Chains A and B, each alone.
Chain A
Amino acid sequence: MARELNIRLEYSSEKDVLFISVLPEREVETRTMGYDHSFLVFHEKHNPNALVGIETLDFTETVSDIDLTSAILPEFDFTFNVIGSSLRGVHFKDLLKWAYGEFVAKSQFLEAA
């Protein structure tokens, strides 16, 4: 069974970045795995398996392209639980789709209403 990580999500509409913080949040020396400048995966400096956070840059554009370009998605050996929601045990791709609905599509719908 895949290991589960508890995470906190935050979206900046100004910068169009989705911030994923792995809980408990910690200040620690990190290094970064960059995927096509769309995803930045921060891990502990001396332990690539210890994930600290993930950023999705150009979030709106990236997520709308995902189904066609899944090759650029980082692969993780674990699933995610989103704190403050009922979302549990989701894979990264589904997490992004859910976040898109929550942070982008919902606000666009509310603005239009």
Chain B
Amino acid sequence: MPNQSKSRSIVTLNSEAEAFEIFKQELSKGCLEVRGLKVSFDFGDFSYLQKKTDGGVRLKRLHYIKETLGNPEEIRESVSESRKEKSITEVYINTCFMNAHESTGESCKVVVEPTIDFSTLQRVYKFKTFYLPNEETLIKNKKGKMLWPEN
């Protein structure tokens, strides 16, 4: 069932020169995801996103991260069954469009790790990764347990 509260994500690309300022303004202090939980980032995350292992696509799409956390199509649980210690991450799935007229958009995923803020004993999230999945990966992720929107 489509998510009725979802609005179209129209997000512009940024230049590499703008990237650090965007990270500082939008992400470094943390941001709220769609359910009102805080997602935290540190400057090591910027160093990570700066790497060109991905051909440089993520650094030009930093606005996608906040938009996807705050306005996702859905959130899925991802359980790493293959580890000795099972790890659970949550995957925010979205499609971002460059403008109102674009028809296809780009699928993107933001992955966070649930953790506890021991100073407040509240559930918080730590940013893990962000990328543009290929079709096969997207299909695989959509098989995970749906966490949001709730049925």
Contact = CB atoms under 8 A, between A and B. Distances in A.
B122 interface: no
Q: Which of A12, A21, A34, A55 neighbours the largest number of chain B CB atoms within 10 Å of its CB? A: A34
A44 B68 CA distance: 23
Interface residues of A, number: 39
Given A53-B53, A53-B55, A37 B128 contact: yes
Contacts of B24: none
Nearest to A28: B55
A38 B52 contact: no
Given A30-B132, A37-B111, A38-B80, A21 B47 contact: no
A41 to B, nearest CB: 9
A61 interface: yes
Nearest to A72: B82
Chain B, interface residues (CB within 8 Å), range? 20 to 34
Interface string A12-38: 101101011100011111111110111
Contacts of A12: 44, 47-48
B contact face: mostly helix, strand, loop, or mixed? mixed
27 contacts: A10-B51, A12-B44, A12-B47, A15-B44, A17-B48, A21-B53, A29-B57, A30-B57, A30-B132, A31-B134, A34-B131, A34-B133, A34-B141, A36-B81, A38-B80, A38-B82, A38-B83, A40-B54, A40-B131, A42-B53, A42-B131, A53-B53, A53-B54, A62-B83, A65-B83, A71-B82, A72-B82
Interface of B: 44-45, 47-48, 51-57, 78, 80-84, 87, 89, 109, 111, 128-129, 131-134, 136-137, 140-141
Given A31-B132, A57-B128, 19 more contacts: A10-B51, A25-B52, A27-B52, A30-B57, A32-B131, A33-B133, A33-B134, A36-B81, A36-B82, A37-B80, A37-B129, A42-B53, A53-B53, A54-B53, A55-B51, A55-B53, A62-B83, A65-B82, A68-B84
